[in-house]
Amino acid sequence: DAGITQSPRHKVTETGTPVTLRCHQTENHRYMYWYRQDPGHGLRLIHYSYGVKDTDKGEVSDGYSVSRSKTEDFLLTLESATSSQTSVYFCAISESDGGQPQHFGDGTRLSIL
Amino acid sequence: EDQVTQSPEALRLQEGESSSLNCSYTVSGLRGLFWYRQDPGKGPEFLFTLYSAGEEKEKERLKATLTKKESFLHITAPKPEDSATYLCAVFSGGYQKVTFGTGTKLQVIP
């Protein structure tokens, strides 16, 4: 068990509201990722982190920001949620020095009305 | 642009009926190919990493193989508990560049 906890697991909110999703790991892995999963698309990388305060953009980063103030926590924020951001969001970690997301959380199902 | 195509989209097998799932890819500089299993309502579970053509990995009833253009996930004598969506992903050069396929949904019927 890689010890990845995502919260909340489900959220329904309205367009234009800010939303923050949290990912917590119990082990001190350096690399953490945020992905979204949508029907007809493979998992797509939003942002990733390679250490405290070290983050970078993925392929679908527009409209999202992240923060990592502690090794164990990686936050994803939607500053002003839009309906196109309705999705299932997964956090992942890499046990190796980046590259491959090896362990995933169980996801946050986010609906934006 | 890296591309990953998985086929078939869905596969229904009788228990004990062996078959293969396909993952074809187009990448510039493959650094690794990954297979995951995903159950409904759960995150993907890592199965295998393959690094070079000709490599094979096995785990219980699953065997993954890799060529220069595609990977196969062979399932031997599947059981109902093997029912899941199987995801393939490729890792190419550059920053954390991992491209996922859309998966094959496998159903094994008792």
Q: What is the pLDDT of residues A45-64, one digit of tens each?
A: 999 999 999 999 999 999 99
B75 forms bridges with which residues in the sheet? B19, B62
CB contact under 8 A, A43 and B31: no
Q: What is the pLDDT of residue A101?
A: 84
Band of the pLDDT at A1, cuts 50, 70, 90?
A: low
Contact B108, B79 (CB under 8 A): yes
Instruction: Indicate if the pLDDT at residue A82 is higher than 90.
Output: yes
User: B33, B49, B98, B102: which to substitute to probe chain A, counting the most A Cβ within 10 Å?
Assistant: B98
Rounded Cα–Cα distance for residues A100 and A85 (Å) = 24
Q: State the CB neighbour count (10 A cutoff) for residue B26.
A: 14
Q: Which residue of B has its CA nearest to A32?
A: B96
Which stretches in chain B have pLDDT values below 50? none
Query: What is the DSSP pairing of strand A31-37 with strand B10-14?
Result: unpaired
List of chain B residues whose C-beta atoms are within 8 Å of the C-beta of residue A32: none
Q: How far is A98 from chain B (nearest CA, A)?
A: 7
User: Would you list which residues of chain A are within 8 Å, Cβ to Cβ, of chain B?
Assistant: 4, 31, 33, 40-45, 48, 56, 58, 90, 92, 98-107
**Cβ neighbours of A102 in B, within 8 Å:** 46
